[in-house]
Structure 1
């Protein structure tokens, strides 16, 4: 199970490695803040398309046939980043990296759940979620250190990334993945469909999404506009600082999941929403006061909010959704979150070009905080959540994850 998380870590490292280099590319190529957010939106677009395809394909044909092409596309995107000297090439690289990440996330996180010991889906949800945000933390830190200390800053880091992806590509064929037993309805259904979950579990998905989407949107702002905001406040384009900012965010998102893993899911959702609201308050205040410490605080709080709410969402889906639909369920949660995370930062980027970075950041913070409050209210009204790890440990174990009655037991 732990080795199965490696492709997810490698893909997520690629997803955020370009972030500290945005300011450098802006100076070298020359493009506006709005264009920067559009490049980030290209990544989101590729991610959403890939999640829509990857989840159903992974549930029907298996995890490996989706993981391998996803990692190959990641290698192609990495090669394009190495040679990017125009907005077009940079945008194409970001688009392909989104497609690669979506494929690896949808199939990779389901593979982690498939290999969970004795059907311990709660642990699988923790490992899948931690590998996602852990890889997202490693990528920008790697970029910041290598690009600031070695020559050819926009090349060196992606050469290293090539080896990370090649290692994952060699690992996937050796995974002892169980065969996929798709149900009859799925076998007869369309192979191309929007990611979803069976009807009895859709409410759990929507509630998870209501809390998770604002949280990941808050981190999306830091990924797209954080380096530009940091450069404006500090009047520097130091890539180690930009990479450190994103690393702090995702390191917090990774660590908090291990700290709160035994909390009940409803508590995870309430805490995650509250952290997102406080993070947005810190972000708006940081811009108004031009305070770098507050900006760092906002980044850490955003990471804590995403990690907590993401753990609640993935744990819920891993516990209640059958294995034959789990890749689609994970894809639906991730796609819904990134859809909002791609829309609001772009709007904030255009507003920042028109009215200033302060106005764009303030409007963004207020919108995300309001959505987080709505998500907390929706989660509070929902009553069907999986039991925490301690309670589940006292229940009789289900030997086969797909055994009859699994959904009712969960």
Structure 2
């Protein structure tokens, strides 16, 4: 039934070329189907890229590598994702979103297949590289597509759905893989085979998008931020950098951190801790919907800082309950900060460069995911994982407080000064 509705939406839309965004020719029902289908695609892509999270400890034991190698495997994803974002964002605005999204889905399936066949550390690097290319190619176009397909043209709702899909995928991947790895057969194969199956409906969704919704001509250019958006990028970008540094820490090292504090080898427990953090993030985003972008960031940053401080203290006193409490608070703060930052950028982005601008914003987020985690992995080889995570948590908390002070001062200025 769902596939029939998607097919009907495709026929009612602008598939045959022409390439304008959905307009009066597409029914309200058709818009809704394509909008939520795009959200599903975003969710499943991000779910797949985070399936390895609870499996890393097993890979570490099986292939005999260090915590630093683990963080490098994770960061290989970011290292290719960022160039992919920078190339595909501008190109998608020029040639159409569907042209970029279809290859991204097949590359994502290839990454899942590589993980399912992994027999050495090199396979893990290869799988992460393919996943990074796929997400880099898809993130800007998917976020822009959600903005254009939102039936009422509500950019705030589009930003909310995008952030919830992001948090949902980041959280659901570790939860699903942890459960399957602990309780299902073939723990290092079955999660990735399931991901390939879940990508099939996503391909059908993308086939219903306009074949050519070009907004501008593509030309090679270095990454740049429109002058009118630079102050937004400086504040919202830094806030979201800190928020996603916390996500990177949870996705890479927190399952091992949980296992160390709890003394349990249950893979589902580590995945559940990551999922708890991101479920709280998604909940905060839903509850914060409709509030001002600046208000969301100002509410989220102190919660994020408090969660980080609690995380550091939990390691110092070996308290699993405090760790779980820190996870909840940090998740709430991350969700509010992310929603506020994306709402600010999404609302200000010019129509003809929307995918380009959003891709540049996501570069900042993924730098936050990847760069600090490598530092934590390096420090962990010298002082141990618990101490390295504590150093990171205190440093990130200080950054949150600094950004909060800057945002609060800017928020108190008169409107005409903020525009200037």
Do both proteins adopt the same fold according to a TM-score greater than 0.5, normalized to the shorter chain? yes
Say whether 1:132 aligns with 2:166. yes
* Structure 1 residue 299, shift from structure 2 partner: 2.1
Show the counterpart of 1:398: none
> Any gaps of 5 or more consecutive residues in structure 2?
1-34
Write out aligned runs for 1:54-133 (5 A): 54-133=88-167
Q: Is the 8 A contact 2:284 2:336 kept in 1?
A: yes
- Out of 229, 246, 250, the residue aligned to residue 201 of structure 1 is 229
> 2 CA distance for matches of 1:63 and 1:110?
9
* Structure 1 residue 64, shift from structure 2 partner: 0.9
* Structure 1 residue 75, shift from structure 2 partner: 0.6
Say whether 1:270 aligns with 2:304. no
Q: What secondary structure does 2:391 align onto?
A: helix
Q: Is the 8 A contact 1:37 1:345 kept in 2?
A: yes
Write out aligned runs for 1:238-317 (5 A): 238-317=266-345
Q: What secondary structure does 1:190 align onto?
A: coil
Q: Is the 8 A contact 2:257 2:386 kept in 1?
A: no
> 2 CA distance for matches of 1:97 and 1:288?
35
Stretch moving more, 295-304 or 273-282? 295-304
* Structure 1 residue 204, shift from structure 2 partner: 1.2
- Out of 362, 365, 369, the residue aligned to residue 341 of structure 1 is 369
Show the counterpart of 1:230: 258
TM-score w.r.t. length of structure 1? 0.89
Deviations 1:319-373 (A, max 9, x none): 1111221112221221112213211111111111111223211210121111111
> 1 CA distance for matches of 2:47 and 2:190?
14
Write out aligned runs for 1:31-70 (5 A): 31-70=65-104
Q: Is the 8 A contact 2:85 2:136 kept in 1?
A: yes
> 1 CA distance for matches of 2:407 and 2:113?
43
TM-score w.r.t. length of structure 2? 0.87
Say whether 1:145 aligns with 2:171. no
Q: Is the 8 A contact 2:215 2:353 kept in 1?
A: no
Q: Is the 8 A contact 2:97 2:213 kept in 1?
A: no
* Structure 1 residue 259, shift from structure 2 partner: 0.4
Q: Is the 8 A contact 1:39 1:90 kept in 2?
A: yes
> Any gaps of 5 or more consecutive residues in structure 1?
388-408
Say whether 1:332 aligns with 2:366. no
Deviations 1:187-228 (A, max 9, x none): 2x633532x432112211221111111011012111111111
> 2 CA distance for matches of 1:285 and 1:42?
30
Moved over 4 A (4+): none
Q: Is the 8 A contact 1:197 1:325 kept in 2?
A: no
* Structure 1 residue 99, shift from structure 2 partner: 1.3
* Structure 1 residue 179, shift from structure 2 partner: 2.3
> 1 CA distance for matches of 2:43 and 2:340?
20
Stretch moving more, 244-253 or 168-177? 168-177
- Out of 140, 165, 168, the residue aligned to residue 202 of structure 2 is 168
Instruction: Report how many residues are paired.
Output: 381
* Structure 1 residue 380, shift from structure 2 partner: 2.4
RMSD: 1.9
Say whether 1:364 aligns with 2:392. yes
Say whether 1:16 aligns with 2:45. no
> 2 CA distance for matches of 1:167 and 1:140?
21
Q: What secondary structure does 1:154 align onto?
A: coil
Q: What secondary structure does 1:180 align onto?
A: coil
> 2 CA distance for matches of 1:221 and 1:302?
12
Show the counterpart of 1:191: 220
Q: Is the 8 A contact 1:114 1:177 kept in 2?
A: no
> 2 CA distance for matches of 1:254 and 1:202?
27
Show the counterpart of 1:374: 402
Q: What secondary structure does 2:290 align onto?
A: coil
